[in-house]
Amino acid sequence: MSELTQSFDLSCLMPSGSENIVKLGHGSGGRMTTRLIENIFLPVLGNDILNELEDAALINIAGANIAMTTDSYVVSPIFFPGGDIGSLAVHGTINDLSMRGARPLCLSAAFIMEEGLPIADLEKIVKSFQQACLNSGTKLITADTKVVNKGAADKLFITTTGIGIVEKFPAPSVKRAQAGDCVLISGDIGRHGIAIMASREGLDLETTIESDSYPLHNLVWSILNDSNEEGYEKIHCLRDITRGGLAGVLNEIANASNVGIEIREDSIPIHQEVKAVCEILGLDPLYVACEGRLVSVVTANMAEEIVSIMSKHEAASGCMMIGRVVADHPGRVVLRSKIGGNRIVDLLSGEQLPRIC
């Protein structure tokens, strides 16, 4: 063994028994997350509703069609350009409800605070949480607070659960994409992930990029209700882009609907600064998280009208048609590059950017 390899301990790259512990990559939203859910959670907890793996579960309770969704927010840092963990925790939950066509009604929130969290920070975040509730027409109806000793959490984690009501069917679903459908995106990708990265300690990235964190319920309402009368059932999938990025969402749709998806690289909107930071950090923007963008898959004859409806919303002023659903290569997402080649856009195995939401 040379001096060099001796001084560089390779065991950190492949620790013994590393398959038997939870790793950061398991939280990526990529293939490791999928494997953890498929191997550990679903075989034990699985049932007809949970197995759907949609953004929100649908359940009929005493005649009411309820949508329910939950997410823990562990973003670091808790304040970032364009938002904080409080507004993010509301927007993320509102968006998950909206993606099933549900009208968000009410939220619960559980705050896990680390001993030593400045009260002033907590106050700011609570205010931001409430402002986001007001902006989304929802309210917090039940909550919990826990405190753990210093070092047992990182400042603040918030778990938000949302309840909404579904008034029309069929609800948009990750399983409803069909060959021939058009794939639309509501705006440029990757701002949230890059804003978080840029605000992390030790990274001195000169960028003015702010998170795209935004509640999409009004945009979705328009997509579902402002088109012509027979439009509703032609909106097949809605999925907000979060961890795993655009690539993650498209792969989920391709897999769940058992279809192929083809997208054109030159049609994907990416802000110049996001591109630049991705190049510096060696990130692929297709995998960088958003928190205020959605993909919609609609029948081809609706695509133009839906783009026109979307573009009236500030949150979707940069909407684009980026590709097509195809019968070929089911389960695969293929990118046609600017220079004409094709490449498969797979799920990442592990983590590109940890603790992004």
**Rounded Cα–Cα distance for residues 309 and 225 (Å):** 10
Residue 165 DSSP SS3: strand
State in angstroms the smallest separation of the CB of 33 from a copy of itself: 7
Query: Taking CB under 8 A as the rule, which mask of x and - marks residues 120-159 in contact with a copy of itself?
Result: x-xx--xx-xx--x-----xxxxxxxxxxx-xxxx--x-x
Q: Which stretch binds a copy of itself (CB under 8 A): 116-124, 216-224, 277-285, 297-305?
A: 116-124
**C-beta atoms surrounding 162 within 10 Å:** 27
Give, as ranges, the residues between 14 and 53 that touch a copy of itself (CB under 8 A): 19-27, 33, 36-37, 40-41, 44-45, 47, 49-50
Site membership for a copy of itself, residue 12 (CB under 8 A): no
Residue (140 or 281) nearer to a copy of itself, CB: 140
Closest Cα partner for 293 from 104, 132, 138, 91? 91
**For residues 80 and 147, is the Cβ–Cβ distance under 8 A?**
no
Q: In the beta sheet, which residues pair with residue 102?
A: 166
Residue (22 or 280) nearer to a copy of itself, CB: 22
Give, as ranges, the residues between 336 and 355 that touch a copy of itself (CB under 8 A): 354-355
Site membership for a copy of itself, residue 110 (CB under 8 A): yes
Q: Residues 30, 80, 111, 306: which binds a copy of itself (CB under 8 A)?
A: 111
Judging by beta carbons within 10 Å of its beta carbon (0-12, 13-18, 19+), is residue 81 exposed, middle or buried? middle
**For residues 106 and 141, is the Cβ–Cβ distance under 8 A?**
yes
**Rounded Cα–Cα distance for residues 163 and 246 (Å):** 25
Q: Residues 85, 88, 94, 109: which binds a copy of itself (CB under 8 A)?
A: 109
Site membership for a copy of itself, residue 108 (CB under 8 A): yes
Site membership for a copy of itself, residue 281 (CB under 8 A): no
> What's the angle, vertex CA 327, arms to CA 331 and CA 248, rounded to 5?
30
Site membership for a copy of itself, residue 247 (CB under 8 A): no
**For residues 176 and 170, is the Cβ–Cβ distance under 8 A?**
yes
Do strands 83-84 and 79-80 pair parallel, antiparallel, or not at all (unpaired)? antiparallel
Residue (193 or 231) nearer to a copy of itself, CB: 193
> What's the angle, vertex CA 268, arms to CA 264 and CA 271, rounded to 5?
150
State in angstroms the smallest separation of the CB of 26 from a copy of itself: 5
Site membership for a copy of itself, residue 203 (CB under 8 A): no
Site membership for a copy of itself, residue 116 (CB under 8 A): yes
Site membership for a copy of itself, residue 71 (CB under 8 A): yes
Please give the DSSP secondary-structure letter assigned to residue 215.
-
Residue (104 or 231) nearer to a copy of itself, CB: 104
**For residues 97 and 240, is the Cβ–Cβ distance under 8 A?**
no
In sequence order, the 6+-apart residues with CB closer than 8 A to the CB of 73 are: 85, 88, 89, 92, 157, 158, 159, 160, 357
Site membership for a copy of itself, residue 106 (CB under 8 A): yes
Site membership for a copy of itself, residue 272 (CB under 8 A): no
State in angstroms the smallest separation of the CB of 29 from a copy of itself: 10
Judging by beta carbons within 10 Å of its beta carbon (0-12, 13-18, 19+), is residue 114 exposed, middle or buried? middle
Q: In the beta sheet, which residues pair with residue 157?
A: 112
Give, as ranges, the residues between 159 and 198 that touch a copy of itself (CB under 8 A): 159, 161, 163, 165
Site membership for a copy of itself, residue 83 (CB under 8 A): no
State in angstroms the smallest separation of the CB of 197 from a copy of itself: 15
